[in-house]
């Protein structure tokens, strides 16, 4: 039996751009459109050409892209009341965009027609029918977005359905039912979609917002009821609480519902797509995001990991690789012996597997976590600790003394100087360096001392530095945890330090970052 097929319509570049804190440039939009095309998306909504210069620039520059899969659509409203479509500037802008397909939205809710448009119900029907027909006459395929359809249907079902009839009469290729306010529940959506699918001989789509946390669920039940076109955004970006998250909708449809969306081999790049768009949007990825989040397949409880060692299906609903993700086992104070053994295997560490030795390492890890260390994300510090405890690993350098002076001048400038004495093998190096702050001075001094012995350190750079106060009630005497992310162009790693003194915590994390980077270089043969 052939699998059902559903067309995927992405509106990240328009609806997603309405997210608080997101502002796409034309360059950004072109990059995302190209990525979505390579992923096999059927439609990519480029924006509203009549609303702002950025969207118009996107359409002007669209020929720069060599698209293979996606049809780019321009978004717009039906004509204004009491004028001809040919005289409507919004529709003219859609035509000037040069697209072959357009998405027009119109009013489905009689309340909106009277209050928002300030016109008659009959004129609204004419606006829908004539606008769709006008763009069809100009050679465009038209997708009709029925705004507030479910609210409109609940208030006045006959009129809501008559707006769809007007769109079909004008030549609409797809009827998209929109939960614009995002307040519908699945059992309200499903029967309405089913009714519309039976009544109209035109493909039906769903466009769900997430104000009640139901956008993905409403999208899935709409497909179950007969919809063959789904709209949403990457990572669920969108106004207010966002839109249906296509990074969740697509794997649910493909892996759980047996529905064909984008090519199966492209689904394996879903994590890559999610992080690519979040990077361009300058938004932090959500660790707990289903399927594509960093924590989606992270296991912390010892009972869980013990079962995973026997069969991953015990605590994973799919193979993480199906969406381009990976399994992560975390080592923390909640961990059991299974977590540690799994982690050692994952890191390919040639360590004793004797359970008594492993238990000693685990006890040490738990004691450190009790003091505030956190090794879940700081895998660099974790591996150094385990190596030192289990196979006699020796650090490439040892601290003998460190002094930092910070001077705040009346002009408001800050001057810091770090003096450091290290032992490298049988040699002692004593040097100093300045910085724009104590941690920067410490970093510069450590580099200056070590680069003569380990030139590879020149290629390592600090990517991120985070500080968290662990016991706020202690005020300025609180213990702090410092996480440092370092990279060398080939890999990134995170290290951790904990102390009541932020300089000491920074030293611990910084020293680990260089030691771990040197260890990885040595093991790779570089």
DSSP 8-state secondary structure symbol assigned to residue 233: B
- Confidence at 279, pLDDT banded by 50, 70, 90: confident
Lowest mean pLDDT of 12-21, 137-146, 252-261, 289-298, name the range.
Answer: 289-298
Pick 457 or 333 by higher pLDDT. Answer: 457
Q: Is 470 exposed, middle or buried (0-12, 13-18, 19+ CB in 10 A)?
A: middle
Strand bridging mode 414-424 / 427-435: antiparallel
- Confidence at 487, pLDDT banded by 50, 70, 90: confident
Answer whether residue 335 shows pLDDT above 80. Answer: no
pLDDT value, residue 466: 85
Sign of the torsion angle spanned by Cα atoms 361, 366, 369, 375: positive
Q: Where are the beta strands (DSSP E) in 351-413?
A: 398-408
Domain with CATH 3.30.160 in the chain: 397-453
Structure tokens at 91: 């529709």
Answer whether residue 162 shows pLDDT above 60. Answer: yes
Q: How far, in Å, CA of 27 to CA of 291, rounded?
A: 28
* φ and ψ at residue 125, rounded to 5 degrees: -60, -40
Convert the pLDDT of each residue in 167-180 to its tens digit.
Answer: 999 999 999 999 99
At residue 393, the 3 state secondary structure works out as: coil
Domain with CATH 3.20.20.70 in the chain: 7-281
Percent of the chain whose pLDDT exceeds 70: 84
Q: How far, in Å, CA of 364 to CA of 60, rounded?
A: 61
Convert the pLDDT of each residue in 104-145 to its tens digit.
Answer: 999 999 999 999 999 999 999 999 999 999 999 999 999 999
* φ and ψ at residue 27, rounded to 5 degrees: -60, -45
- Confidence at 329, pLDDT banded by 50, 70, 90: low
pLDDT value, residue 333: 47
Query: Shortest CA distance to 358 belongs to which of 369, 345, 370, 371?
Result: 345
User: Per CATH, is 397-453 categorized as 2.60.40?
Assistant: no
Mean pLDDT of 77-102: 96
Query: Shortest CA distance to 516 belongs to which of 499, 494, 501?
Result: 494
Cα distance from N-terminal residue to C-terminal residue, the chain: 53
Task: Compute the radius of gyration of the chain from its Cα atoms.
Answer: 29
Mean pLDDT of the chain: 88
Q: Name the maximum alpha-carbon separation found in the chain.
A: 91
Q: How far, in Å, CA of 103 to CA of 173, rounded?
A: 10
Contact predicate 336/303, CB 8 Å: yes
pLDDT value, residue 296: 79
Beta bridge partners of 105: 77, 145
Q: What superfamily would CATH give domain 7-281?
A: Aldolase class I (3.20.20.70)
Give the number of other CB atoms < 10 A from CB of residue 202: 17
Residue 358 CA neighbour count, 13 Å, CB half: 19
Answer whether residue 526 shows pLDDT above 50. Answer: no
User: How far, CA to CA in Å, does 480 sit from each of 371, 446, 513?
Assistant: 10, 21, 18
Strand bridging mode 414-424 / 398-408: antiparallel
pLDDT value, residue 346: 62
CA angle 200, 204, 207 (to 5 degrees): 140
* φ and ψ at residue 56, rounded to 5 degrees: -65, -40
Contact predicate 69/34, CB 8 Å: no
Sheet holding 480-487, edge to edge: 461-469, 480-487, 492-499
CA angle 132, 136, 137 (to 5 degrees): 120
Lowest mean pLDDT of 119-133, 316-330, 463-477, 511-525, name the range.
Answer: 463-477
Answer whether residue 92 shows pLDDT above 50. Answer: yes
Q: How far, in Å, CA of 252 to CA of 259, rounded?
A: 9
* φ and ψ at residue 350, rounded to 5 degrees: -85, 80
Residues shown for the chain? 526
* φ and ψ at residue 448, rounded to 5 degrees: -60, -40
At residue 413, the 3 state secondary structure works out as: coil
- Confidence at 31, pLDDT banded by 50, 70, 90: very high
* φ and ψ at residue 274, rounded to 5 degrees: -55, -45
pLDDT value, residue 479: 84
Answer whether residue 223 shows pLDDT above 90. Answer: yes
pLDDT value, residue 382: 79
At a CB cut-off of 8 Å and minimum separation 6, what does 52 contact? none
pLDDT value, residue 447: 92
pLDDT value, residue 378: 73
Query: Shortest CA distance to 224 belongs to which of 254, 247, 188, 253?
Result: 253
Structure tokens at 64: 């720069």
Convert the pLDDT of each residue in 404-452 to its tens digit.
Answer: 998 887 777 778 899 999 999 899 999 999 988 888 899 999 999 999 9
At residue 376, the 3 state secondary structure works out as: coil
Give the number of other CB atoms < 10 A from CB of residue 524: 9
Query: Shortest CA distance to 91 belongs to which of 77, 73, 105?
Result: 77
Q: How far, in Å, CA of 272 to CA of 244, rounded?
A: 19
């Amino acid at each position: 039996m052939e699998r059902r097929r559903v067309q995927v319509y992405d509106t990240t570049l328009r609806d997603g751009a309405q997210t608080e804190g997101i502002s796409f440039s034309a360059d950004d939009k072109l990059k995302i459109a190209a990525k979505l095309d390579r992923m096999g998306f059927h439609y990519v909504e480029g924006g509203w050409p009549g609303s702002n210069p950025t969207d118009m620039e996107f359409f002007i520059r669209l020929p720069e892209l060599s698209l293979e899969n996606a049809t780019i659509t321009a978004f717009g409203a039906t004509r204004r009341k009491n004028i001809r479509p040919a005289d409507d500037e919004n529709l003219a802008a859609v035509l000037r965009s040069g697209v072959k397909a357009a998405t027009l939205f119109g009013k489905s809710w009689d309340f909106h027609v009277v209050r928002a448009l300030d016109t008659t119900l009959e004129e609204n029907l004419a606006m829908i029918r004539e606008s769709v027909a006008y763009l069809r006459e100009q050679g465009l395929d038209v997708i009709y977005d029925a705004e507030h359809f479910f609210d409109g249907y609940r208030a006045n079902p006959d009129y809501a359905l008559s707006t769809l009839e007007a769109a079909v009469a004008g030549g609409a290729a797809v009827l998209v039912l929109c939960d614009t306010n995002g307040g519908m529940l699945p059992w309200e959506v499903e029967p309405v979609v089913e009714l519309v699918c039976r009544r109209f001989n035109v493909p039906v789509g769903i466009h769900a917002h997430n104000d009640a946390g139901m956008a993905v669920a409403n999208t899935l039940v709409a497909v179950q009821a007969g919809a063959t076109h789904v709209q949403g955004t990457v990572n669920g970006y969108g106004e207010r609480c966002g839109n249906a998250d296509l990074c969740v909708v697509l794997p649910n449809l493909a892996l759980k519902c047996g529905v064909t969306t984008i090519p199966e081999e492209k689904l394996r790049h879903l994590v890559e797509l999610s992080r690519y768009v979040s990077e361009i949007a300058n938004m932090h990825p959500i660790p707990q995001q289903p399927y594509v989040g960093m924590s989606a397949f992270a296991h912390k409880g010892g009972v869980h990991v013990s079962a995973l060692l026997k069969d991953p299906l015990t605590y994973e609903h799919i193979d993480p690789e199906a969406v381009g993700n990976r399994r992560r086992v975390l080592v923390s104070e909640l961990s059991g012996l299974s977590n540690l053994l799994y982690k050692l295997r994952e890191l390919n560490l040639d360590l004793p597997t004797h359970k008594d030795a492993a238990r000693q390492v685990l006890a040490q890890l738990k004691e450190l976590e009790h003091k505030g260390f956190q090794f879940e994300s700081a895998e660099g510090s974790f591996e150094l600790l385990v190596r030192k405890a289990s196979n006699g690993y020796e650090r490439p350098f040892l601290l003998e003394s460190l002094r930092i002076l910070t001077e705040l001048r009346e002009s408001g400038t800050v001057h810091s100087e770090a003096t450091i004495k290290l032992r490298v093998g049988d040699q002692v190096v004593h040097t100093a360096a300045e910085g724009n702050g104590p941690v920067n001075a410490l970093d510069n001094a450590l580099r200056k001392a070590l680069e003569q012995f380990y030139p590879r350190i020149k290629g390592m750079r600090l990517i991120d530095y985070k500080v968290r106060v662990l016991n706020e009630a202690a005020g300025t005497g609180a213990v702090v945890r410092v996480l440092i992310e370092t990279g060398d162009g080939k890999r990134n790693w995170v290290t951790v330090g904990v102390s009541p003194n932020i300089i000491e915590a920074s030293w611990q994390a910084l020293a680990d970052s260089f030691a771990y980077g040197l260890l990885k270089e040595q093991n790779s043969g570089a």
